[in-house]
Amino acid sequence: MDKLLFKRILVAVLTLLAVVYVAYLLISANFDMYPTENAVQTTVTDKIYSNAFIIRDENLIENTAQGVLSYSVANGEAVNANGEIAKVYANAEDALAHSTAEALQKKKESLEYIQKNTISGTMNIDIINNNIKNKLINYLDDTNNGNISKTATDADTLLTYINQRMLYTGKIENFNEEIASLSEQISTLNNSAGNSKGSIKTTKAGYFTEFCDGYEKTFSYDDIDKLTLDDLNNAKKGSVPDNTAGKVIGNVKWYVACEVNSDQAASLNIWDSAVTVLFSEASSEAIPAEIYKVSQPEKDGNALVILRCDYMDDGILEARQEPIEIGMGTYTGLRVSKRAIHDDFVTKTTYDDNDNPHKEEKKVQGVYVLYGSEVQFKQISILYADEDYVICDPSPEEGILFNGSTISLYDKVIVKGDDLYDGKVIH
């Protein structure tokens, strides 16, 4: 090939590459002027964070006897009026012996129940396996969440189901030997220890707990309507009498009092009464509640919020002052940056009886979406707004959108750029 021709071809190729590269830089720079974000589906819960004070119908139980208590009921267990909550013994050895005998008695009764029902054929392997699976999941969940009392109960129940499976599948023939051994231990313990000197009873029905913190009489449960924000902020802890044997929560309904700012108070005032509450340090799950009262002493000032609940468990029984999350609503839609929102005109075309088109134009709130190299303006219907983003309804009810058109999943929403308008072509 002629050297001159080769040079000319080489120069032409290099020139073409340079032109392509410059064009690429120009196009990239132009598109970089209009950065986009995909509209992705997101679910959010509107939350208010505060510090809660829990108010219950709490009744202290007085220990009028001299001696050592052995509790007959567990924390969180329901008790009847005039029901026994503890037996009184002369010394700790007698109390321990009797409490151990009661625990062994429950174990013996469990084995007897398993043996009777499994041998009679009232159970089947699918039910037993399902019980083991579900209880194992409960045990792991309660362990991870730190629910110690529930974990112990889960472990006992799980052992019952495992024993039941061993008997059903023939791994063991019966529990006769174990039952006889337990009976002997129970008899020995009862015979070696002194009898109880009496018992402690509760005058009210409700949920029992040994735990007392000194705030039981800080606020009157019956005067919850009179509680003020100043009262809440000046809550004082009292002392627990030395002869207290525990307390009974006498009413299933209890209250959560907390302070919120004026904007949060306004949101709660216009919200439906149903909310959820999460005590991050006392429970791993949000529980249902209702807005009982929102009291704002001064316009634009902080407010007192009182929520009413009727769910109870061990962790909540002992909770008093806790960080709280109030959940007001859950929203699912397309997430869009607030920077992308603009006001522009959209057009709607209607037809008369003679099929003649009539165009209407209206200024609405929306975003610019990039389709290929063309910019289109789309109206949005906002479900939820945060500081930095909004959640938009991808399928609003009829009549909400002016022309029935809005953004779709994965639309490239332009979040920044100058001189944007509907129909603009980016070259």
Residue by residue, pLDDT tens for the chain (427 residues) are 565 555 666 556 566 666 555 555 445 444 457 889 999 999 988 899 999 999 999 999 988 888 888 888 888 888 999 999 998 988 888 888 888 888 888 888 888 888 777 665 556 788 888 888 888 887 787 777 666 667 777 788 888 888 888 888 888 888 888 888 888 898 888 888 888 888 899 999 999 999 999 999 999 999 999 999 999 999 999 999 988 999 999 988 999 999 999 999 998 988 888 999 988 776 667 889 999 999 998 888 999 999 999 988 777 888 899 999 999 888 999 999 999 999 999 998 888 888 888 889 999 999 999 998 899 999 999 998 888 999 999 999 988 999 989 999 999 999 988 888 888 888 6
CB 261 within 8 A of CB 302: yes
What letter would DSSP give residue 425? B
Q: What is the pTM of this model?
A: 0.67
Q: Tokens at residue 226, please?
A: 């009179």
Residues contacting residue 58 through CB under 8 Å, at least 6 positions apart: 216, 217, 221, 247, 248, 249, 250
Distances in Å between the Cα of 176 and the Cα atoms of 111, 125, 160 are 9, 22, 15
Q: What is the pLDDT of residue 6?
A: 58
Q: What pLDDT does residue 192 have? A: 82
Residue 302 one-letter amino acid: N
Say if CB 89 and CB 194 are below 8 A apart. Answer: yes
Report how far apart the first and last C-alpha atoms of the chain are (Å, whole number). 41
Rounded CA-CA distance 121/128 in Å is 12
d(CA 318, CA 209): 8
Kind of pairing between the strands at 382-385 and 303-309: unpaired
Q: How many angstroms separate the CA atoms of 48 and 268, rounded? A: 9
* 8 A C-beta contact, residue 346 and residue 365: no
Number of other residues whose CB lies within 10 A of the CB of residue 305: 28
Confidence (pLDDT) at 75: 85
Helix (H, G, I), strand (E, B) or coil at 150: helix
Contacts of 310 (CB under 8 A, 6+ apart): 252, 253, 254
The strand ranges marked E within 139-266 are 198-201, 206-209, 244-249, 254-260
pLDDT at 416: 87
